[in-house]
């Protein structure tokens, strides 16, 4: 029984240390975006879409893929929500096929191949970026992926331990990140 409890304690401590390192290692955004062939935004928050559309309008990338869009949502609605300008009309593509981060990576890989792009700026929430980078790096090994993390309104990453909602969100994301690491490693070795 003592060995079992000791093993549980070690697992728990490893989880806690890993979680703290995960949260402490969440990426910060660079001061200025580098240029890339493409911009890809994963749906899940207005801040993500607004940021990606602003990058497109600034000419940072040639085209924008909005991945994981609900079937009921049109390009016109997304343009209105994000305040999309002239480049949005010509250079934004809508991806309806993805249901999760792995699906976003698959959808993006196909889109990148169709356009013969070699680099992309990946826009998603800061807390979601580690998992997104793991999935995208596995699915797009020959593509230069530049993370462009976005802070999401209502989520205090600076004081995450003081907010139960933020702590729960980060805990779920950490578990998904661990699962993603396992599945991407297994897929890579299969």
Residue-range definition of the domain harbouring residue 148:
34-155
Q: Is residue 181 part of a domain?
A: no
- Counting the structural domains of the chain, the total is 1
Q: Is residue 98 part of a domain?
A: yes
pLDDT in tens, 123-154: 999 999 999 999 999 999 999 999 999 988 87
Which pLDDT does position 187 carry in this prediction?
A: 66
Q: Could you tell me the CATH number of the domain that includes residue 140?
A: 3.40.50.620
Which pLDDT does position 60 carry in this prediction?
A: 95
Q: Is residue 113 part of a domain?
A: yes
Q: Is residue 180 part of a domain?
A: no
Q: Is residue 127 part of a domain?
A: yes
Which pLDDT does position 112 carry in this prediction?
A: 98
Residue found by looking up tokens 């993500």 in the block: 48
Q: Is residue 83 part of a domain?
A: yes
Query: Do residues 152 and 45 touch, judged by C-beta distance below 8 A?
Result: yes
pLDDT in tens, the chain (190 residues): 888 888 888 999 999 999 999 988 888 877 888 899 999 999 987 889 999 999 999 999 999 999 999 999 888 888 777 777 888 888 999 999 899 999 999 999 999 999 999 999 999 999 999 999 999 999 999 999 999 999 888 787 788 888 888 899 999 999 999 999 888 777 665 5
pTM, entire model: 0.89
User: What is d(CA 78, CA 88) in angstroms, rounded to the nearest whole number?
Assistant: 10
Q: Is residue 167 part of a domain?
A: no
Q: Is residue 46 part of a domain?
A: yes
User: What is d(CA 65, CA 57) in angstroms, rounded to the nearest whole number?
Assistant: 13
């Amino acid at each position: 029984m003592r060995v079992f409890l000791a093993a549980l304690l070690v697992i728990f401590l490893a989880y806690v240390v890993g979680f703290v390192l995960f949260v402490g290692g969440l990426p910060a955004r660079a001061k200025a975006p580098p240029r890339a062939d493409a911009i890809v935004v994963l749906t899940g928050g207005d801040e993500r879409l607004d940021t990606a559309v602003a990058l497109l309008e600034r000419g940072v990338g040639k085209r924008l893929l909005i991945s994981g869009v609900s079937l009921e949502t049109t390009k016109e609605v997304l343009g209105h929500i994000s305040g999309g300008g002239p480049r949005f009309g010509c250079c934004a593509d809508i991806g309806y096929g993805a249901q999760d981060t792995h699906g976003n990576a698959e959808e993006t890989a196909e889109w990148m191949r169709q356009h013969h792009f070699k680099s992309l700026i990946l826009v998603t929430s800061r807390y979601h970026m580690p998992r997104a980078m793991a999935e995208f790096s596995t699915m797009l090994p020959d593509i230069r992926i530049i993370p462009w993390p976005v802070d999401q309104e209502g989520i205090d990453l600076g004081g995450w331990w003081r907010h139960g909602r933020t702590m729960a969100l980060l805990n779920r994301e950490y578990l998904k990140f661990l699962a993603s690491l396992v599945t991407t490693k297994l897929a890579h070795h299969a």
